[in-house]
A = this chain, B = another copy of it.
């Protein structure tokens, strides 16, 4: 792609800056200063409360961003999938926790090779899987506890104790602790309702931890939480490590959530688009559709270049409509805030890092497509 070579060469040794307005669109944009402030604010928050920070890299899939999070004080990162961890290890990230079970023989063989070169841990929710993972010499495992969604995790305190015994019996495994992620509670918009839901789920976690303690199982780390719950988790005092991800970007979903006592995170992620058709009354078409935004969480909202009241609607794979009054004309740039950051980032190969209207760097989305 000649355009990337051109941008890269203009961002080379002499650091010629590239005008954001000249980028091909749709373009995934990161506001460099807002990102740094978000990283610093979460690091300060966790440090002040004495809770470890292990940001989830499934949000950004970027070695550049992971290294910045670790430099700011994170103990390491989380990855959702083994290939994501492999890609970020290749970028020099040396401490990774895998938040999904690794089950197949093919994947366990890869896990073993990755474990030989970085500090690695992985969740387990099944005694048979513990036996299989014992082939990985010295692997650190976490008991994944199901908060009630039945996605992954053991289903009861008794199952947690049985799994702890299977882990101990496997001989070569080391128990790193317990993982507990209340995914379906993260986006409850009302803070009070979210607090009540997380507190209720944490009461259940306490019973699981008590059963493990009663069985003589030492749990060094309790890891979990997300951007929607981390202040609540910190207050409840059960989690010892936070897996927050989306705080670095603050997408439209989290922007719509009510926060209390949280740092003032800023929107640091956007998609720049161009108007490519303008023949209808009260509507223009931009060049970003459902290959440019994840479609699982509503629609993008306007950040700039068009009235913020104008409404985005998907118009197929490659197009979106802006509907409203006072819309921009053919060729105009419109900046949109993605509805859900993680799967939107996963559609792009590069972040264009901007300071205002200037592109100051290009970062690869290192682990894009690494769902395996």
Most buried by B among A83, A106, A279, A315: A279
Distance in Å from the Cβ of A56 to the closest Cβ of chain B? 10
Distance in Å from the Cβ of A67 to the closest Cβ of chain B? 20
Tallying the copies of this chain within the complex gives: 2
Q: How far is the CA of A331 from the CA of B274 in the complex (A)?
A: 45
Stretch in A68-76, A166-174, A288-296, A300-308 with 4+ CB within 8 Å of B: A288-296
Interface of A, secondary structure class, is loop
Distance in Å from the Cβ of A357 to the closest Cβ of chain B? 15
Of residues 114 through 157 on chain A, the ones whose CB sits less than 8 Å from some CB of chain B are 125-126, 128-129, 146, 149-155
Q: Is the Cβ of B279 less than 8 Å from the Cβ of A125?
A: yes
With A103-B331, A276-B101 known to touch, is A295 a contact of B292 (CB < 8 Å)? no
Q: Is the Cβ of B291 less than 8 Å from the Cβ of A343?
A: yes
Q: Is the Cβ of B277 less than 8 Å from the Cβ of A330?
A: no
Q: Is the Cβ of A83 less than 8 Å from the Cβ of B1?
A: yes
Q: Is the Cβ of A279 less than 8 Å from the Cβ of B315?
A: no
**Which residues of chain B are near A82, meaning CB under 8 Å?**
24
Distance in Å from the Cβ of A18 to the closest Cβ of chain B? 11
Say yes or no for A371: interface residue by CB 8 A criterion: yes
Interface residue from B150, B295, B318 paired with A58 (Cβ < 8 Å): B318
Say yes or no for A199: interface residue by CB 8 A criterion: no
Q: Is the Cβ of B371 less than 8 Å from the Cβ of A125?
A: no
Say yes or no for A280: interface residue by CB 8 A criterion: yes
Q: How far is the CA of A3 from the CA of B3 in the complex (A)?
A: 30
Say yes or no for A100: interface residue by CB 8 A criterion: yes
Q: Is the Cβ of A103 less than 8 Å from the Cβ of B274?
A: yes
Instruction: Identify the closest chain B residue to A105 (Cβ).
Output: B331
Q: How far is the CA of A14 from the CA of B27 in the complex (A)?
A: 42
Say yes or no for A65: interface residue by CB 8 A criterion: no
Stretch in A40-48, A234-242, A344-352 with 4+ CB within 8 Å of B: A344-352
Say yes or no for A94: interface residue by CB 8 A criterion: no
Say yes or no for A197: interface residue by CB 8 A criterion: no
Q: Is the Cβ of A342 less than 8 Å from the Cβ of B330?
A: no
**Which residues of chain B are near A343, meaning CB under 8 Å?**
290-291, 317
Most buried by B among A152, A318, A372: A372
Say yes or no for A87: interface residue by CB 8 A criterion: yes
Distance in Å from the Cβ of A276 to the closest Cβ of chain B? 5
Give the interface of A toward B (CB within 8 A). Answer: 1-3, 22-27, 58, 80-83, 86-87, 100-107, 110, 113, 125-126, 128-129, 146, 149-155, 159, 183, 274-280, 283, 285, 287-292, 294-296, 314-319, 321, 330-331, 342-343, 346-349, 368-369, 371-372
Q: List 22 A-B contacts (CB under 8 A).
A: A1-B83, A1-B86, A1-B87, A25-B104, A27-B372, A81-B318, A100-B287, A104-B331, A107-B274, A126-B330, A129-B330, A150-B283, A151-B315, A155-B279, A159-B279, A290-B296, A291-B369, A291-B371, A292-B371, A317-B342, A317-B343, A347-B347
